[in-house]
Chains A and B, each alone.
Chain A
Amino acid sequence: MSDALLEVINLKVYFYTLSGVVRAVDNVSLNVLTGEWISIVGESGSGKSTLAYAIAKIVPPPGRIVEGKVKFMNKDLVELSEEALRSIRGRHIGFVFQDPLTSLDPLRTVGDQLAEVIQVHLGVSKDEALREAGELLELVNIPRDRLNYYPHQLSGGQRQRVVIAISIALRPELLIADEPTTALDVIVQDQIMDLLKEVQKKGASIMLITHDVALAAERADRIAVMYAGEIVEYGSARSIINAPLHPYTAGLVDSVPDLWSTKIVKSIPGFPPDLRNPPLGCRFHPRCKQALSICTNESPSMTAVEHNRCVACWLYLKR
């Protein structure tokens, strides 16, 4: 698992709103390796969801990919036509969104929706597609007879399982899950995470987008931390949690109440910047206790500090 399945290079996604240009994703580079679980952690407004949408080129207007490349299976998705993209979305990149109710059609049975995906993409008969749909449901731990159910007849957790079943129906190489459990309770959240782990074991890469540091870390191989539209640090899940380098990462890890750790919980002072008008230099500097004078006017670039460990912070940059 060393070759990159997905490579995001200097990606910029801006939202052109009436009150100004929101630089939601600003110069982000990231790769996803074959078969790995990478979690993108960030607070609301950090651009993590926009990054996920941009990968599949489904950024809602007034958002636009301004610059950058998304290399996936030897193609640059940014350059591809809508038609070409359609054969990649779903088929090679699966999506699981936050709210399962809005991802499912309330007027059609679960079986119908599952079978449609299989039928359209693989061109098999309806009966065969339905048979496969039943198998998929069992794979996500839902009894086969639920094929005839409508979404409202299922519980929240079951709906999200159905969404996952649909998104893995075509065995995509990459499954992007954007806050898939925020609408669910913790016990169900744990079950869904176990299910994603199963999907990973079958060979897919998982990209989990979440604001929950602990959730991001528990099953992930790597973590990338986003702040104010930029990735500030990435590395193995263990190293990010146990030895964070960037002051923001350290602050984030310290700010989360945790059942099993005795550390003192403290907030990061201040609040995230307005992305229409981000601060000059490092975007975290107004909240950073260790800020140097250079941090206020020059933005630090992402630098490798050790194998597979990168950070964008002047504290670790040799000038």
Chain B
Amino acid sequence: MKALVIAKGLKKYFPVRRTITEIMLMKSRLYVRAVDGVSLEIGFGETLALVGESGSGKTTTGRMIIGLEKPTEGSILFEGIELTKLSKSALKRIRPRMQMIFQDPYASLDPRVKVGDQVAQPLIIHGLCDADEAREKALEILERVGLTPPSEIYERYPHQLSGGQRQRVVIARAMIMRPKFVVADEPVSMIDVSLRASILELLKEFKREYSLSMLFITHDLAVAKLVADRVAVMYLGKIVEEGVVEEVIYSPLHPYTKALISSVPTIGSRVLEKLKVTGEIPNPINIPPGCRFHTRCPFVMDKCKRLEAPWMDISKGHGVSCWLYSIK
């Protein structure tokens, strides 16, 4: 087994609701092609950052991999087991080993349950220990995520905690299961700027301690650089470039990646020249033919408008899908 998670050819099409007139006129159903053929691998103890703008399909990809969304097409292997073919009960048995951390620490906690009980709950649901033991473990992990004194925090309700503290509770709830794999969907985008680094640091510590594999979904390349080993850049439902973090950021290949990097504001000094592109990400109902990015690409060629570029490995572990890098 070479990787913990192997996803191949993942697709997710959401049907668009038709109006009654459209049905009577027998207009064909339209689909939002949110994810349109994504393949990725996450090694043991590795963090892969999935970076893209809103609407690029990064969240849907994460939800499919963790089994919250059924793919329209494609396969997901977790520890060598095909997840897409599992029954609900079989999936529940695997669940403790994979956890998700959501963006919104306000929405992902139950306002009427003490935070300590929410942290202990997964252990009880999966029948891993009795209530007293679960409480002990919850207190331990609350302390571990920096919520002290844990016995006091345990009794609080979510509204009595700040956003940063809530996100620590959410992390504790995920980590109490000692998972092998975590999907973190924009875990810091709703946290105060001055506190973000500490949350990221906490995730990195757990990664080391539990030799966690992580899929880290973010729109912020600078955050990706801080936490990830590799980064995959998504555009309109496809991965356009993937590689080791430093390589992708300091020697990007795809024009979209270049534009994305150019537009990240910085207080440091840029090494790469800025690449400006016009327009915005097109509607995923009407994906442009050929290369998806050709409508905005400053280097567009005739071929790009007709044919999608194949995946090309340019150097070890750095690949791109762009005609500029094809041999002829």
Contacts and interface: CB of A to CB of B under 8 A. Distances in A.
B241 to A, nearest CB: 15
B107 interface: no
B264 A271 contact: no
A156 B54 CA distance: 11
B222 A190 contact: no
Contacts of A286: none
Interface residues of B, number: 41
Interface stretch (A67-75, A99-107, A163-171, A213-221): A213-221
A212 B223 CA distance: 13
B195 A268 contact: yes
A142 to B, nearest CB: 11
Interface string A39-62: 000011000000000000000000
B144 to A, nearest CB: 17
Nearest to B283: A155
Interface string B275-288: 01110110000000
Interface of B: 53-54, 162, 164-165, 192-201, 219-223, 225-226, 249, 259-271, 276-278, 280-281
Interface residues of A, number: 41
A295 B117 CA distance: 39
A260 B266 contact: yes
Contact of A267 (B194, B220, B259, B268): B194
A18 interface: no
Contacts, number: 116
Contacts of A1: none
Given A185-B54, A186-B219, A271-B162, A259 B263 contact: no
Given A43-B192, A214-B265, A271-B162, A259 B280 contact: no
Contact of B197 (A157, A158, A212, A255): A255
A252 interface: yes
B197 A266 contact: yes
B194 A251 contact: yes
A188 B55 CA distance: 14
Interface string A200-216: 00000000000111110
Which of A187, A255, A259 counts the most chain B CB atoms within 10 A? A259
A193 B54 CA distance: 19
Contacts of A265: 197, 200, 226
Contact of A187 (B194, B226, B249, B263): B263
A214 B267 contact: yes
A261 B266 contact: yes
Nearest to A227: B194
Given A185-B53, A186-B219, A187-B260, A259 B193 contact: no
Contacts of B267: 213-214, 217, 241, 253, 256, 258, 261
Nearest to B296: A187
Nearest to A189: B263
